[in-house]
Structure 1
Amino acid sequence: MFRYLILIMILSITLAGCTEQVKVDMQGAGETIPTGSTGIAFDGKDLLVAKEGLIAFIDNIDTATAGSIYGYEGHFYFDRYPITITSKENKPYITGLAWQNTAGNTGFIWASDEANRRILKISPQGDVITRIPLTKIYPEDITFDGEYLWVVDSKRKKIFKLSTEDGSIVSEYLSPVPVPTALAWDGKNLIVGGLKNLNNPAPSPDNVQIIKLDPVSGNVMENVETSRYLTSPAGMVWINGKLWISDRNSGKIVIISDKGEPSTDIRSYKLPAVAPVLKKVEAKEDKNKTAQDVDEAKRAAEEARKAAEEAKKAAEAAKKAFELQQKK
């Protein structure tokens, strides 16, 4: 009996030293990680979730099944310490996350901060590497296609393709979803989620719309079937044929298939390219001409100086001659 007590004590101490396991009441589908997360991404191992200025790394996720009679809550683990983003201006409010793979699988986190209208490039250790201000965009969810950043803006009802260097707009799209709030990249197409009507008085799954958009043609390829547990998409990420979507109303993350019906919408939502503003560059001939003008001006000034000296000498000589004449 004593041997069993010792074994139980050792097991208790061992479990206490392990990573904390967190269980939550799912009430249907998905995970609440943390409650009301607004941005989510996937780094190949962990699910990254954001709320306000906090980014957490979640591992070993086991989700509950919608409508399960067992009442299983699901569970997950925090893989490491969260990252906290600060600002000297407005309190950060992260509305989107994206992951960029790099050599050696170290990677970077891209985060859209709606409160400060900027995009941040962050190391996995939490160091902010780049701050890109956005003057013409109200950034919500964000995704990365391997070369460019994509941002949805529900205020302008647009989707923007941005350079990772300075955030300059590469191309623009009108959003097929009336109020775009969530964005993901499946390796080929953009997946856009949001609401059909912002003024809908009550949250409803019927008010949610998710589509696949071909970024080359700007055409809607598919209408993705949504979930009865999804009423207000916030962050979204595509993982192996599934869409993980954080819901703003319930605070849960709902997992659905990315499959849908072919769209009958033949409109292209890609806007015409705007010619870049060219900086005025002075031609080489103009520079040479300017140099010649300067040389000529210098020569003219020197000649004028010599002429003034000669005139001065002549005036002094005339003065002396006049004085001599007066003495006589």
Structure 2
Amino acid sequence: MFRYLFLLILPFLVIACTEQVKLDVSGVGETMPQSPTAITWDGKNLIVGKEGLIAFIDNIDTATAGSIYNYEGHYFFDRYPITITSRDNPAYITGLAWQKTVGSTGYIWVADSANKRILKVTPQGDILKKLPLGKIYPEDMTFDGEYLWIADSKREKIFKITPEDGSVIAEYLSPIKLPTAIAWDGKYLIIAGIIDPLNPSSSTDNVRIIRLDTVTGKVIEEIPNSRYLSSPAGMVWIDGKLWISDRNSGYIVRISDWGSPIVDEKTYKLAEVPSTIKKVEIKEKQKADKDVEEAKRAAEEAKKAAEEAKRAAEAAKKAFELQQKK
């Protein structure tokens, strides 16, 4: 009897133990503050950020959430953390996104909410580009291979911007009242956040995770939340799994990104904003073409003037030679 009862219970035990795993990245000493507010993935390392620090961790061994054992996993620092500094307000990192280039190289896009800007940074910590965000408040950020996506918790919107100059390409109303984490799964946008910002409780029931079709602007799927996630801060999609940092617990929770299809007829996509980059490029090209034409005309005039000067010099030489013969 007990054997059959155990077999009946076993599937539920397996589901309960493997539903999600968690990784404690708090308490690692002075090099990394507790509760990372941003995470991304470079293909090898989980890159985590908090305040003005960015750390690279690898060899991650996750622990089973809800296990009867107290083991909480471990990891190693791949290299020494890099520091983002600012002449204005001290940097506060709320979003990270990885842009792969050639091979295993790439850049880190950093959302600095304290200075309302986005930075393009090398893995060594060199800042290559600074993009001011104006009225956009970056809560989290992700990269789809061409554009940057920003979750703005204060304006309750999602912004699609170009990494060239930070121009807004499109705007979306956030399906979640307070969007605090965002990720790109290769096709859709995944958004996590707080349902009721006025609710002071840290209940997991106040967290929602959805998948948004950016083409239609509609929510297509609801992803079940983990009971260990009550305040999502940063999120990244890695091989069919969502890694989400939690402000309250200081953990990084890994959950499967499978969800249940939902019917939401509302379209969250607002009118697209025409890119100003092409216009700027056209104007710059027209200006450059005009400058080239003017340069050509100036060169022709200079050439004519030089020829006239040469003829005048030859005439003067002949005149001088005639004068000498006399």
TM-score category by the smaller chain?
0.7 to 0.9
3-state SS, counterpart of residue 31 of structure 1: strand
3-state SS, counterpart of residue 172 of structure 1: strand
2:30 aligns to what? none
Deviation of 1:32 after TM superposition, in Å, equals 2.5
1:206-229 deviation digits (Å, cap 9, x = unpaired): 000000001111111100000110
3-state SS, counterpart of residue 103 of structure 1: coil
1:177-234 deviation digits (Å, cap 9, x = unpaired): 1100000000000000000000112110000000000111111110000011000100
Ranges in structure 1 where 5+ consecutive residues have no aligned partner: 1-27, 288-328
Deviation of 1:266 after TM superposition, in Å, equals 1.3
Kindly indicate whether the alpha-carbon contact (under 8 Å) linking 1:205 and 1:227 is maintained by their aligned counterparts in 2. Answer: yes
1:85 aligns to what? 84
Kindly indicate whether the alpha-carbon contact (under 8 Å) linking 2:22 and 2:72 is maintained by their aligned counterparts in 1. Answer: no
1:23 aligns to what? none
Matches of residues 64-143 of structure 1 in structure 2 within 5 Å?
64-143=63-142
Kindly indicate whether the alpha-carbon contact (under 8 Å) linking 2:167 and 2:275 is maintained by their aligned counterparts in 1. Answer: no
1:9 aligns to what? none
- In the alignment, the residues of structure 1 paired with residue 275 and residue 57 of structure 2 have an alpha-carbon distance, to the nearest angstrom, of 42
Alignment partner of 1:244 is 2:236: no
Matches of residues 256-267 of structure 1 in structure 2 within 5 Å?
256-267=255-266
Q: What's the TM-score, normalizing by structure 2?
A: 0.76
1:159-185 deviation digits (Å, cap 9, x = unpaired): 000000000000000000110000000
Percent identity between matched residues is: 63
1:254-283 deviation digits (Å, cap 9, x = unpaired): 11110111011111110012456778x8x9
Pick the aligned partner of 2:25 from 29, 33, 39.
Answer: 33
Matches of residues 235-314 of structure 1 in structure 2 within 5 Å?
235-274=234-273
Alignment partner of 1:200 is 2:192: no
1:60 aligns to what? 59
- In the alignment, the residues of structure 2 paired with residue 274 and residue 128 of structure 1 have an alpha-carbon distance, to the nearest angstrom, of 28
Letter in 2 for 1:158: K
Which consecutive aligned stretches of 4+ in structure 1 deviate over 6 angstroms post-superposition? 276-279
- In the alignment, the residues of structure 1 paired with residue 131 and residue 272 of structure 2 have an alpha-carbon distance, to the nearest angstrom, of 22
- In the alignment, the residues of structure 1 paired with residue 62 and residue 216 of structure 2 have an alpha-carbon distance, to the nearest angstrom, of 37
- The total of aligned residue pairs comes to 257
**Which structure has the bigger radius of gyration?**
1
Letter in 1 for 2:42: D
Kindly indicate whether the alpha-carbon contact (under 8 Å) linking 1:29 and 1:229 is maintained by their aligned counterparts in 2. Answer: no
CA RMSD of aligned residues (A): 2.0
1:307 aligns to what? none
